[in-house]
Each structure stands twice: as C-alpha cells, then as structure tokens.
Amino acid sequence: MNRALTMLYLGCPQWSNTAWKGQLFAQHCQQSQMLARYSEVFNAVEGNTTFYADPSPDVVKRWLHSSDEHFRFTFKFPKRFSHDSALQAPKQELTHWLELMAPLFSKVGSLMLQLPASFTPTHLPRLQHFIAQLPKDLHYSVEVRHRDFFTKGDSERALNRFLHQHNIDRVCMDTRALFAVSPYSDAIIDAQQKKPHLPVHAVALGERPVVRFVIAALSDEYQHYYQPWLAKIKQWLDEGKSPYVFLHTADNDGAPLLARQFAQDLQRFCGYYHRAVEPFPGEKHQQEQLF
C-alpha cells in the first residue's frame, strides 16, 4: 500500500459538541477553538451545518484558517437545493452558494448531495442536469434514499453508471446497528425516525468513497456490523482510493470514541495507522491533572 498516495479520512458528523469536553477536548476548550482541536485528531468531518443554513463569508474564512492543513470537509449541499426545490433551483442560486464556499475548496474532500426518499429513478435526469452545472475540478458524492435504488435492478444500475461515468461517489449509509436495538432513549427514537433503514451497498464509483456508519450508543453491540468495513477500507486503500469514513451515534456524544475504536480495529486488522488511535487531548489533560 502506497501511504503517500492513499489516505483514510476519518471523522464525525460534526466538529463541535460540548459533550466532548473531558474526552476529545479539554474541559476549558472554548467553542471557537473546537474545530482547531478537532482537526488535530481527525482529518475529516461531515459538514452537516451547510445543509440547514449558509455560513457568512467571515465564518467560511474562519473555518479555513481554524483547521489543519491536511484537513478535509465534506460539506452538504443546502437542503433548499436537494429537498425544497427538488434539484430545480435557479442556476444563479447554486452559483452564489458555490462562490460563497469557494475559499474552502482547497480543503473540501467532497461536496455531498443528500437526496430525499422522494427522489425516485424517474428524477434521474434532474440529477444529471444538476451535476452538469457544477465545477468539474471538485469531487462530489451523492446519497439516495428511495428503495428502488437498492434493488440491484435497472434503476440502480442506471444511477451507478451515471455516477461512475462522472467519477462521483455514492454514499454508503449503514444504519444496521442503529435499527438493531429497540429504542430506549429520546435520542435513539429521533435517530430511527430520521435516518434511512435501507440495504447497504458498499460501492466505490469514484476515487473518494464515503461511508456513514450509525449506531445507537456505545453500550450496544455494534462492532460486528463494521467488521466487514475494515476489509472494505483496506481494499479501497490498496486500490489507491482515499475513503472517507464518518462514525455516528444517535446523539453523537460518543462519536469520537466510536471513530477511535474503528481506527484501532483497522490498525489491528491491516496495520494502517491513523492518529485517532492515540489518547485524546481531553483525556491527556485529565490525566495530567492527577499528577
């Protein structure tokens, strides 16, 4: 495996969470410092924030300068494009958003288009038109949630063929561990209501496959669900791809610990080292306070 050409990008669905103080972050870590501290451990993050609201130009610049040089964001296209306008928003609106985010493009691993379950195979021409409007020098990934895209039939083949032709990755969403438990908390109830429960198709149609792995909580059984992903990540790395893997819990309070466990298991499985296997800054700070 050529370490100079391949890299695992590992992270969580967010970079800021006060529940991570004393764990990923030191207790005194301010919210304004969290992205910088997060990027010292993980080298990627899901940019879910842009799904709901546009950042200001000043915030875009702050994100750029607050993250590690080799850090990568996977910002989502805004919901107004993927859901509200069903991929039919005026081109100038899309252009405006791309111009807003442009200062960060050097740190964007992938721009993720998350489509709702209402996006059916009959809407594939809309996706093709939307993609045709995007800059050619960026990487993209698409997540679909309609069941007809998971039957290995003509609809799925047509989608995969289009994505592969344009070097666009199809997001692999794995929620099996989340739905394997009966909901026993508000966070799990909420997650099971919002997250899709669909077959897992582990495909790499481009050079930067994206995996979103979701569990209920760290106290539940989950490791055997991601064991096959260890072999798949090794395969993709061996093929020269750079996979992006994001680990979720229902409330995301335990997401950094889950991501570290994944990194440790991957290292045991194939020897791949990711710095997330090391003790977190918050843990080291607490240890130092004891002496």
User: How do the residues of the chain divide into helix, strand and coil, expressed in percent and rounded to 5?
Assistant: 45, 15, 40
Walk along the chain (291 residues) and give the pLDDT tens digit of each residue.
334 345 999 999 999 999 999 999 999 999 999 999 999 999 999 999 999 999 999 999 999 999 988 999 999 999 999 999 999 999 999 999 999 999 999 999 999 999 999 999 999 999 999 999 999 999 999 999 999 999 999 999 999 999 999 999 999 999 999 999 999 999 999 999 999 999 999 999 999 999 999 999 999 999 999 999 999 999 999 999 999 999 999 999 999 999 999 999 999 999 999 999 999 999 976 655 544
The answer to whether residue 245 is domain-embedded is yes
The answer to whether residue 246 is domain-embedded is yes
- The pTM score is 0.95
The answer to whether residue 83 is domain-embedded is yes
The answer to whether residue 1 is domain-embedded is no
Distance CA(272)–CA(10), nearest Å, equals 12
The answer to whether residue 143 is domain-embedded is yes
Domain with residue 239: its CATH number is 3.20.20.410
Positive or negative CA dihedral for 217, 218, 223, 229?
positive
Domain containing residue 129: 9-289
Helices of type H across 195-291:
223-238, 255-270, 281-289
The answer to whether residue 158 is domain-embedded is yes
Number of domains in the chain: 1
Token pair of 195 as six digits = 């997250």
Distance CA(74)–CA(143), nearest Å, equals 13
Q: Considering only CA atoms, which of 82, 74, 103 is closest in space to residue 15? A: 74
